[in-house]
Amino acid sequence: MKLYGNPMSTCTRKVLTVLAEKGREAEFVNIDLQKHEQKTPAHLARQPFGVVPALELDDGFIMYESRAIARFLDRTLPGTSLTPADPKAYALMEQFIGVEQSYFSGPAMKIVMERFFNTNNEENIAKGREGVKRPLEVLDAALANRPFLAGNDFTLAEVCFAPYVEYLFAVGEKDLFAPHKNVSAWWDRVSNRPSVKKAHGR
């Protein structure tokens, strides 16, 4: 199995987290985003939108889209499932993956990009900070009476949120989390998980 990705990429990190949870390694093929290797014909043949990651199985099956890959690996690799069997917990997991994708990661990355590349456009940062406010409030309320977003267990919902939260802390935005005690306690649990540490190069 080959994973075409970049170790700094949030989307690649979701896939790496699932592999680490399952105790599996894929052959990692580094796609250099600075050199635009994601736009080469060879990579476009695996990922027609010219981004990472893409997964290639030993039988030649190729797929892309980080959340789809995460679900596929969780379903096919042996080990503890990251998808709840209980239908309501499953619904909550999918709901929060939707929250991450639709409301959180966009504004979070707006902040991260400005800080990470030192462009520091304060207008963009303010928009990003405003954007993540409501999702963080919603997460905080959800985590008031359970340790993880879908219930008692770490699931693909945490896998999907972790790379963006990791970057917000890495670029010094920890004050965003200070008013949200439940989110802060949750992040303590999530960020100390060996799979999350490994996927994020810690």
Ligand X SMILES: N[C@@H](CCC(=O)N[C@@H](CS)C(=O)NCC(=O)O)C(=O)O
Largest CA distance in the chain: 49
* Least distance to ligand X, CB of residue 184, Å: 25
Q: Which residues contact 78 (CB under 8 A, 6 or more apart)?
A: 22
* Spatial contact of 73 and 23, defined as CB atoms under 8 Å apart: no
Each residue 18-37 as x (binds ligand X by CB under 6 A) or -, in order, gives: ---------------x----
Q: Which of 27, 25, 28 is nearest to 8 (CA)?
A: 28
Task: Calculate the CA 126 to chain-centre distance.
Answer: 22
Contacts to ligand X from residues 77-106, by CB under 6 A? none
51: contact with ligand X by CB under 6 A: yes
Count of residues near ligand X by CB under 6 A: 12
Contacts to ligand X from residues 60-79, by CB under 6 A? 65-67
Query: Residue number with the shortest CB distance to ligand X?
Result: 51
Nearer to ligand X, 51 or 136 (CB): 51
Contact with ligand X (CB under 6 A) among 38, 105, 155, 195: 38
Q: Which one-letter DSSP state was computed for residue 100?
A: I
Q: Which H or E run contains 196?
A: helix 194-199
Q: How far apart are CA 110 and CA 181, in angstroms?
A: 24
Contact with ligand X (CB under 6 A) among 4, 9, 73, 164: 9
Nearer to ligand X, 44 or 91 (CB): 44
DSSP output for 145-168: S-SBTTBSS--HHHHHHHHHHHHH
* Least distance to ligand X, CB of residue 157, Å: 15
* Least distance to ligand X, CB of residue 33, Å: 5
Nearer to ligand X, 106 or 151 (CB): 106
Binding site for ligand X (CB under 6 A): 9-11, 33, 38, 50-53, 65-67
